[in-house]
Amino acid sequence: MASYDVALQRREEIAPGTFAFHFARPTGFAFKAGQAVSLALREPPAAANSTRRTFSLVNAPFEPELVVATRVREASAYKRALTALPIGATVKLTGPLGRMTLHEDGARAAVFVAGGIGITPFMSMLRQAIHDRLRHRLFLLYANRRAENAAFLAELQALARDDDNFRLHATMTATDGRIDEETIRNFAGDAAAPIYYLAGPPEFVTAVGEALTRLSVPNDAIQSEMFYGY
C-alpha cells in the first residue's frame, strides 16, 4: 500500500469541538468514495498509541484536496497534536483503506445511518453520487445529540433541497430519542431493495444493527464501520 508525505493546508472548526483538516492531494492518489486513510504524525506525542489514526475521507474523489474530520477529545494526545500542527507541516498518509463504498446497482436504494462524526464516509459518497448524477435513491438518517453538534448539516440540508434522489432526516437524540425500528421504517420504508450503511460509535452501530435485524433486514444488506474514541 502506498504512502505519501502530505502537507496540512488549512483546518476549520465545523461544529463545537469538531475540526476538518485539509491536506494537499498527492499526484495520482485515487480512492473510492467512502474509503479512509491512515495519518501518521512526524513528531508524535510521548503518550502511548498516539502515532497514527485512521480517518474516513470527507471529500469526494472528484475534489482536488484530501479532507478528514474528527472530534477532538481532550484525552486524546494524538488529536491534540494534530490540531496543533502548523499550516504547511507534513504527515505520512497511507491508503486508501476500507471497503465500505456505494454499491453499483442503481436500482437498489442506499440508506446511510450516521451517528455523530460517523457522517464522514457518507459525505464523500453523497458528494460523489450527486456529482456523477447516479440513479441510486439515497437516504440519510443522521443522529446527533443537538443540532449544533451536527457537522455538515447545512450542506446536507441544501443537498436534500436541490436533489430529488436524496432524502435527509436529521434527528437530535436530546429531544427526539434514539433511532429505532419505527424511525427507520417511517423514514426509509419505501426504499427499493435497500442496502444499509452504518457508521458511528460502536454502541450506536450495534443498536442500529439490532434494529435492522428486528426489521428482518438480511446481513448481506448491511455494511458498517465503528468509529472508536469519540
Domain ranges of the chain: 3-97, 110-226
| 4 bridge partner residues | 93
Q: What would the pLDDT profile of 70-114 be if each residue is shown by its tens digit?
A: 999 766 889 999 999 999 999 999 999 999 999 999 999 999 999
Yes or no: say if 57 and 31 are a contact pair by the CB < 8 Å rule: yes
Yes or no: say if 33 and 61 are a contact pair by the CB < 8 Å rule: yes
Yes or no: say if 187 and 215 are a contact pair by the CB < 8 Å rule: no
User: What integer pLDDT is reported at residue 167 of this predicted model?
Assistant: 98
* Residue 67 in grid coordinates: 479532507
User: Does the structural domain 110-226 have CATH classification 1.10.30.50?
Assistant: no
Q: Do 3-97 and 110-226 share a fold?
A: no
Which residue numbers in the chain have pLDDT < 70?
48, 74-75, 229-230
User: What integer pLDDT is reported at residue 74 of this predicted model?
Assistant: 65
Q: Which residue has the cell 498516539?
A: 50
Longest pairwise C-alpha distance within the chain = 52
User: What integer pLDDT is reported at residue 7 of this predicted model?
Assistant: 98
> Cα 215 to the chain's mean position, in Å?
24
Domain topology for 3-97: Elongation Factor Tu (Ef-tu); domain 3 (2.40.30)
Tell me the DSSP string of the chain. --EEEEEEEEEEEEETTEEEEEEPPPTT----TT-EEEEEESS--SSTT-SEEEEEB-S-TTSSSEEEEEE--TT-HHHHHHHHPPTT-EEEEEEEE------S-TTS-EEEEEEGGGGHHHHHHHHHHHHTT----EEEEEEESSGGG-TTHHHHHHHHHH-TTEEEEEEEHHHH----HHHHHHHHTT-SS-EEEEEESHHHHHHHHHHHHHTT--GGGEEEEE----
User: What integer pLDDT is reported at residue 229 of this predicted model?
Assistant: 59
Q: Which residue has the cell 436534500?
A: 160
